[in-house]
Amino acid sequence: MIVTQYVSELRRLRSELSPPVGLVPTMGFLHEGHLALVRQSQEECAATVVSLFVNPTQFAPTEDLTNYPRDAERDMRLLEEAGVDLVFAPQAEEMYANDHETWVMVDRLARRLEGATRPTHFQGVATVVAALFHIVEPQRAYFGQKDAQQVLVIDRMIRDLHFPVELRVADTVREPDGVAMSSRNTYLSPDERQAAPVLRRSLDLAERLWQDGGRDAEQIRKAMVEAIEAEPLARLDYVSITDARTLDEIHMIDRKALVSLAVRIGRTRLIDNAVLPPGEPLLTGGSPCS
Ligand code: AMP
């Protein structure tokens, strides 16, 4: 495994890899969710590049950039054990010049859900992913459904800017009690960690109601809100049922829907989601392959 923090060196090393090359963008502090993306890339591609970069522009000034968990040594060990070919771990200055002023802005999709309270988040995500696509030139890129809105934003960007990259989406990897794996789970105290399964429980409830024929989005939403409010340590940010393609709120679940929620447990904000009908892929058709 070769590791570099420099764009020019990455480009040189990348040019020696045989296609198809898979890219797995991450912010490090790796867990099984990240490693599942790596394995999928390795199964589908001749070479796998992983980026480790805590992207400052996707954090608002009030968010956890400086405290975001980091353990580069452990990350490198896990990637080496996984058999990754190339790791790109740049410093912020390598990705963003002092006078950086170019942004990739996905408009409507990025203003929904997470974007409502984090207005600059997806601009930061789309910009860094576009830069990584230009630097690594992967044929495929691997993202987790855990961040479903991110998947839709990147899919839109790939189509709108004609990136020759196929977007591949992996299922959310969960702890045995249903909690979606996340680097941010390390912020939870033992009591808070015990409360965290409430997100998956409320999504299970939505799936059950849908299986029983429930199609009234407001009724399902209400049931989910009650489930979350029953957990004393949880403070609901939003529960939303939207068209899975446009992220427009829907009243009747008469098409593929995305149920998403954000919940604060103590000072940690957790997100999770499920697609209805259960088991349907988030993206249909996927992004165009090169
Ligand atoms: P992050 O390091 O949090 O930016 O995540 C990097 C990639 O891993 C993103 O595409 C995430 O959606 C994905 N990811 C994070 N958590 C999980 C999980 N529990 N299961 C599957 N993919 C995940």
- The answer as to whether 75 is a domain residue is yes
If one residue of 114, 122, 147 were mutated to test the ligand 1 pocket, choosing by the most ligand atoms within 8 A of its CB, it would be 147
Domain boundary among 111, 142, 170: 170
156 inside domain:
yes
Q: Do 148 and 226 have their domain in common?
A: no
Q: pLDDT tier at 29 (50, 70, 90 boundaries)?
A: very high
Domain boundary among 170, 200, 232: 170
Q: DSSP string covering 235-247, please?
A: EEEEEEEEETTT-
Residues 160 and 230 in one domain: no
Q: Cβ–Cβ contacts within 10 Å for residue 142, how many?
A: 26
Residues 60, 135 within the same domain? yes
Task: Indicate whether 103 belongs to any domain.
Answer: yes
* Closest ligand 1 atom number to CA of residue 174: 19
Residues 148 and 232 in one domain: no
Residues 12 and 48 both lie in one domain: yes
Whether 287 has a pLDDT exceeding 70, the answer reads no
Q: Are residues 9 and 149 in the same domain?
A: yes
Instruction: Verify that 121 and 220 share a domain, yes or no.
Output: no
- Whether 290 maps to a domain, the answer reads no
Domain assignment present for residue 71? The answer is: yes
* Residues 94, 55: Cα–Cα separation, whole Å: 11
pLDDT of 289 higher than 90: no
pLDDT in tens, 77-101: 999 999 999 999 999 999 999 999 9
Nearest atom, ligand 1, residue 172 CA? 20
For residues 192 and 164, state if they share a domain: no
Please indicate, yes or no, whether residues 198 and 158 belong to a single structural domain of this protein. Answer: no
Q: Could you tell me if residue 94 is inside a domain?
A: yes
Between CA 207 and CA 174 the distance in angstroms is: 17
The active-site residue out of 31, 34, 100, 121 is 34
Distance between CA atoms of residues 123 and 74, nearest Å: 29
Quick one: how far is CA 110 from the chain centroid? 13
Mean pLDDT (the chain) is 97
Q: Which atom of ligand 1 is nearest to the CA of 184?
A: 3
Residue nearest to atom 12 of ligand 1 (CA): 144
Looking at ligand 1, which residue's alpha carbon is closest to its atom 6?
26
pLDDT at 290 (0 to 100): 37
Q: Are 238 and 224 in contact (CB under 8 A)?
A: no
34 part of the active site = yes
pLDDT in tens, 187-237: 999 999 999 999 999 999 999 999 999 999 999 999 999 999 999 999 999
Rounded mean pLDDT, 173-195: 98
Residue from 23, 34, 68 to probe ligand 1 pocket by mutation (most atoms less than 8 Å from CB): 34
Q: Quick check: is 284 in a domain?
A: no
Report helix angle 7-14 to 121-136, nearest 10: 50
Q: Which residues line ligand 1 (CB under 6 A)?
A: 26-27, 33-34, 36-37, 143-144, 146-147, 170, 172-173, 180-183
End of a domain among 170, 193, 220? Answer: 170
Q: Which domain holds residue 228?
A: 183-276
User: Mean pLDDT, to the nearest integer, of 18-42?
Assistant: 98
Pair of tokens at residue 227: 């489930």
Q: Are residues 217 and 116 in the same domain?
A: no
Structural domains counted in the chain: 2
Q: Does residue 282 sit within a domain?
A: no
CA-nearest of 263, 201, 204, 269 to 234 is: 263
Q: Same domain, yes or no, for 75 and 155?
A: yes
Q: What percent helix, strand, coil does the chain show, rounded to 5?
A: 40, 20, 40
